[in-house]
Amino acid sequence: ADSAAAEQVERRLSEIVRAVDEANQASSKQMSLLSAMAMSPQHRHAIIVGTVLSALQQWSGINTFIAASNDVFIKAGVPQGSATLCSTAMATLNVVVTIGAASAIDSALGRRGLLLIGTAGQGLSLLPTSIAYMVGGPESKAVVYLSVMSVLGFVFFFAVAYGPVLWVYLNEIYPVEIRGTAVALASAMNWTSTLIVVFLQKYMPNSIAYSLFAGLCLFACVFTYMYVLETKGKSIDQSPFFATTQQQQQQQPPDEEAPTRTAQQQLQQQEGG
């Protein structure tokens, strides 16, 4: 048992040293996103998926309901004092659920499963109000109550999944040579989408907003189902978008002396420094 444990420790140490060595080599081979997209379909797929997911997070309407919640509720017929209370309840719900969702990211559902449930839940939460607007019009009493309940449900599902999962997922799907620039691109797309959506909300009636965002959330669910690959249980250098390349590398005969040689070189460099 002791020898088996020792072998396992040695194997893990070798894997760590090899991973550090590969990361150092990759960092010296940084490439632009355009070069990466031209180099292989795997790079192209990962960059496009990450960028679209980032944009859809904001096009789902989250910052319309967070940043302009009072306006949304007042447009729906909620009294101004009650609208402020509803906005406070929504913000509190968002914080509490987000904190609780941290442990759910590594649950059996995985990143992809959480995104599917979250985006579907967001879209379905907004549908009743959208239908109420179409059937009863903006003067309907049902709109007043449904608008608040829809937003609370929407925020709950966002805080459980899309809110926290996106930023974990982005750092797991890109190889190290493009990770920094690819995440930066996704973040820039996210903020650009935020500015556009919040600006358009000022000129958008609730009857259009609820229907539009419900449709975009359901589109995000379909996009996730079709293109998002699961990363749960994989190390940060095992992107599922590059599984074929990684398998080919693993099938190559390993150089058993390489990890030891790399470690010795690192120690010599430290002693020399």
Average pLDDT value for residue range 21-45: 73
Q: pLDDT, tens digit, for every residue of 172-228?
A: 888 888 888 899 999 999 999 999 998 888 888 888 989 999 999 999 999 999 999
Of 69-78, 97-106, 147-156, 250-259, where does the model show the most confidence?
147-156
The mean predicted confidence, pLDDT, of the chain is 81
Q: pLDDT, tens digit, for every residue of 242-253?
A: 865 544 444 444
**Does the pLDDT of residue 1 top 60, yes or no?**
no
DSSP the chain: -HHHHHHHHHHHHHHHHHHHHHHHHHHTT---HHHHHHH-HHHHHHHHHHHHHHHHHHHTTHHHHHHTHHHHHHHTT--HHHHHHHHHHHHHHHHHHHHHHGGGGGSTTHHHHHHHHHHHHHHHHHHHHHHHHHHH-TT-HHHHHHHHHHHHHHHHHIIIIIHHHHHHHHHHHS-TTTHHHHHHHHHHHHHHHHHHHHHHHTT--HHHHHHHHHHHHHHHHHHHHHH----TT--TT--GGGHHHHHHHHHSPP-THHHHHHHHHHHHHHHH-
